[in-house]
Amino acid sequence: MNKVKKAVIPAAGRGTRFLPASKAVPKELFPLVDKPVIQCIVEEAAAAGIEEALIVTGARKEAIARHFARDPLLEAALRRDNKTEVLETIERLGRTVKLRFAVQHQPLGLGHAVWCARDFAGHEPFAVLLGDMVCEPGSDIGSLLEVYREKQAPVIAVQPVEWSEVGKYGIVKGKSAGERLVAVEELVEKPKSEPPSNLAIMGRYVLEPDVFPILARQKTGAGGEIQLTDALQELARRRRVYALSFEGNIRDAGDKLGYLQAVVGEALRHPDLKGPFADFLRQAAALAQDPQGRESS
Ligand code: UTP
């Protein structure tokens, strides 16, 4: 039985939805309180038993590799100042899983970014965790790995979205194959009209190396990019592919609202912040409902 030990984390996109903030700082490094988005994703992979991860970065996104690299000067300064707790956090960064990096020289699309991981994957199955999608605890890659263990077939995480939103996502249609499980029949990236369903792909996949020859031939699709969804549509014609309905919240931190939701979620789980931050949110919510109250008080 094939166990999934590797993960690919594509993080080479342009991040245009977040410009100008993402011009010099990759959106994958935006903080969720005190942790960059991509660190949360690496920790999610580690918690699910992934041993080795390849982060696909862009030509101008070296800061991502720097975040995970050792920094002897910083570590020495923290040691000297007895800042033991933060020192441990810093030392642990690159150690949760064995990290490797590949550069996608041009952001030709998510499908192309995954194709950049073909040598890393070799003959093994691998998880894909998009570098800007953050799962709240309980809705992580672990549930996909369980399905993979049982089915030994590719699995995609999906969630229903509002019908008005389907044009922003890769959309999956299929027939029920068990609790929360769908046997995929059709996949469409960002459907412009007549979407086949409102089940949207949520940035987590478990794939096998048979996707690489398809990706190698994949023509550009939606947005002029080489789309992973299009390659998976071809894969689903050849073999059984499953979609698992994810429970819990997954936030697109590459989108402004999704990022704010992810920050709030993280702050409400943070041991030092959750109390005072919840108080602040209650006040902010009251203000949002009654903006005049602020002026009159
Ligand atoms: P997105 O489509 O959300 O990222 O890709 P983007 O292209 O950066 O976004 P916008 O639309 O310009 O704002 C999902 C993930 O795939 C990576 C991104 O970095 C992101 O983490 N990606 C995307 C690549 O690695 N390479 C690409 O060519 C495209």
Position 170 in a domain: yes
How much distance in Å is there from the Cα of 290 to the middle of ligand 1? 38
Better pLDDT: 139 or 37: 37
Q: Minimal CA–CA distance to 75: which of 94, 88, 62, 65?
A: 88
Q: Are 262 and 224 in contact (CB under 8 A)?
A: no
Is residue 102 in contact with ligand 1, taking CB distance under 6 Å?
A: no
- Residue 291: pLDDT above 90? no
Is residue 112 in contact with ligand 1, taking CB distance under 6 Å?
A: yes
Position 293 in a domain: no
Give the model's confidence band at 136: pLDDT under 50 very low, under 70 low, under 90 confident, else very high: confident
Position 25 in a domain: yes
The boundaries of the domain holding residue 188 are 6-269
What percentage of residues in the chain have a pLDDT greater than 70?
98
Is residue 241 in contact with ligand 1, taking CB distance under 6 Å?
A: no
Note the helical H segments in 167-255: 211-217, 228-238
Q: In terms of DSSP bridges, do strands 52-58 and 6-11 run parallel, antiparallel, or are they unpaired?
A: parallel
What percentage of residues in the chain have a pLDDT greater than 90?
85
**Containing H/E element for 186?**
strand 181-189
- Residue 172: pLDDT above 70? yes
Question: What average pLDDT score do residues 108-117 get?
Answer: 98
Q: What is the rounded distance in angstroms from the CA atom of residue 170 to the CA atom of residue 187?
A: 7
Position 156 in a domain: yes
Question: What average pLDDT score do residues 137-147 get?
Answer: 88
Residue 20: cis peptide before it, omega within 30 degrees of 0: yes
Which protein residue has the closest C-alpha to ligand 1 atom 23? 13
- Residue 223: pLDDT above 60? yes
Token pair listed for 102: 């590949």
How much distance in Å is there from the Cα of 113 to the middle of ligand 1? 9
Position 81 in a domain: yes
Is residue 35 in contact with ligand 1, taking CB distance under 6 Å?
A: no
Q: What is the rounded distance in angstroms from the CA atom of residue 240 to the CA atom of residue 265?
A: 35
Q: Please spell the DSSP secondary structure of 147-177, one letter per residue.
A: HHHHH-S-EEEEEE--GGGGGGSEEEEEEEE
Question: What average pLDDT score do residues 65-83 get?
Answer: 93
pLDDT for 67: 94
pLDDT for 294: 56
Token pair listed for 46: 């580690």
pLDDT for 93: 82
Better pLDDT: 61 or 99: 99
Give the model's confidence band at 1: pLDDT under 50 very low, under 70 low, under 90 confident, else very high: low
How much distance in Å is there from the Cα of 292 to the middle of ligand 1? 40
Question: What average pLDDT score do residues 96-115 get?
Answer: 96
Partners of 47 in beta bridges: none
**Containing H/E element for 91?**
helix 84-92
Q: Are 152 and 4 in contact (CB under 8 A)?
A: no
Is residue 189 in contact with ligand 1, taking CB distance under 6 Å?
A: no
Question: What average pLDDT score do residues 170-178 get?
Answer: 95
Q: For the chain, how many structural domains are there in total?
A: 1
Q: What is the rounded distance in angstroms from the CA atom of residue 190 to the CA atom of residue 168?
A: 5
Which protein residue has the closest C-alpha to ligand 1 atom 4? 13
Is residue 170 in contact with ligand 1, taking CB distance under 6 Å?
A: no
- Residue 296: pLDDT above 80? no
pLDDT for 144: 95
pLDDT for 95: 81
Q: Minimal CA–CA distance to 165: which of 247, 230, 257, 228?
A: 257
How much distance in Å is there from the Cα of 28 to the middle of ligand 1? 10
Q: Minimal CA–CA distance to 188: which of 211, 201, 163, 171?
A: 171
Is residue 172 in contact with ligand 1, taking CB distance under 6 Å?
A: no
How much distance in Å is there from the Cα of 27 to the middle of ligand 1? 10
Partners of 199 in beta bridges: 160, 172
- Residue whose structure tokens are 């020289």: 105
What's 227's domain CATH number?
3.90.550.10
Position 51 in a domain: yes
How much distance in Å is there from the Cα of 110 to the middle of ligand 1? 6
Question: What average pLDDT score do residues 236-249 get?
Answer: 94
Is residue 38 in contact with ligand 1, taking CB distance under 6 Å?
A: no
- Residue 226: pLDDT above 90? yes
**Nearest 5°: phi and psi at 27?**
-60, -25
- Residue 271: pLDDT above 70? yes
Position 283 in a domain: no
Position 111 in a domain: yes
Q: What is the rounded distance in angstroms from the CA atom of residue 175 to the CA atom of residue 194?
A: 18
Question: What average pLDDT score do residues 227-235 get?
Answer: 97
How much distance in Å is there from the Cα of 122 to the middle of ligand 1? 24
How much distance in Å is there from the Cα of 86 to the middle of ligand 1? 31
- Residue whose structure tokens are 């977040």: 18
